[in-house]
Amino acid sequence: MVQDRDRFLPTGTYAPIREVGARLTADAVSEQGTVVDVGCGTGYYLAGVLDQLPGVRGLGLDTSVRALRLAARAHDRAAAVAWDVFRPFPLADEAADVVLDVFAPRNPAEFRRVLRPTGRLIVVRPTGRHLAELRGQVPAMVTIDPAKEQRLDRALNPFFEVAVTEQVEYRASLTKLDALNLVAMTPSARHVSRADLNDSSVLPDQVTVSVLATAYQPR
């Protein structure tokens, strides 16, 4: 899964997602601030934020040691720590200007604890249309829960209120290798083998990328 992310993300297919995360972060972080990327993976999204914000430091948290080796090298102002998002974070109260959560699990209480009162939580998650063409062709892929937004609201509402939400949706062309890597880097990798995808007719050459990116402010 880590190798697949490292192959797929540099293609730029998800660059608009990285750009919206960086833009929402820029509105909230101070000149010498700190961004914490929860479930950072290879550090792709964190590096995109730091590229736009000279002087800002980044910390990535993830359970995958293999991913963290890449995340620690993703940017010269980034560090990475092996950590379970559901445990108390290894950070002091109000240590972060921004908590970034892109396609990752969430711990609302810890997000609120480590954020400064003027900080922002940025959550990026898929809509029901995300990768619909792939999911239509590969039934074993994980589906998007239609109640996902309601569950997110219930989880975050005690700690945060919405500041702004942006939708990012576009069509992206894929080579067969891109499609294989994309499936393998998602939670669907646990349910779909590459052998199941060897028939190229199964894989679409275009997919819809569709996400919501919300900046939340602490209550």
CA-nearest of 116, 43, 30, 54 to 81 is 43
Higher pLDDT, 197 or 145: 145
Higher pLDDT, 184 or 122: 122
For the segment 62-109, what is each residue's pLDDT rounded down to a tens digit?
999 999 999 999 999 999 999 999 999 999 999 999 999 999 999 999
Domain hosting 46: range is 2-128+143-170+210-218
For the chain, percent of residues with pLDDT exceeding 70: 93
Q: What is the pLDDT of residue 216?
A: 97
The total of structural domains in the chain comes to 1
Decide if 203 is inside a domain.
Answer: no
For the segment 172-214, what is each residue's pLDDT rounded down to a tens digit?
999 988 988 888 887 766 666 666 666 556 788 899 999 999 9
- Which amino acid is it at 36? V
CB atoms within 10 A of CB 200: 10
Decide if 71 is inside a domain.
Answer: yes
- Confidence at 122, pLDDT banded by 50, 70, 90: very high
CATH for 12: 3.40.50.150
Decide if 101 is inside a domain.
Answer: yes
CA distance 94 to 98: 10
Mean pLDDT of all residues belonging to the chain: 91
**Residues 123/101, Cβ–Cβ less than 8 Å:** yes
What value does the mean pLDDT take over residues 10-16? 96
**Residues 119/27, Cβ–Cβ less than 8 Å:** no
Decide if 124 is inside a domain.
Answer: yes
Decide if 188 is inside a domain.
Answer: no
Q: What is the pLDDT of residue 197?
A: 63
For the segment 160-176, what is each residue's pLDDT rounded down to a tens digit?
999 999 999 999 999 98
Decide if 28 is inside a domain.
Answer: yes
CA distance 214 to 195: 37
Burial tier of 97 (Cβ tally within 10 Å: 0-12, 13-18, 19+): buried
Dihedral, 129, 130, 133, 138 alpha carbons, nearest 10: -120
For the segment 87-96, what is each residue's pLDDT rounded down to a tens digit?
999 999 999 9
Which residues are within 8 A (CB) of 65 and not within 5 positions of it... i.e. 6 or more apart?
82
Decide if 15 is inside a domain.
Answer: yes
Decide if 115 is inside a domain.
Answer: yes
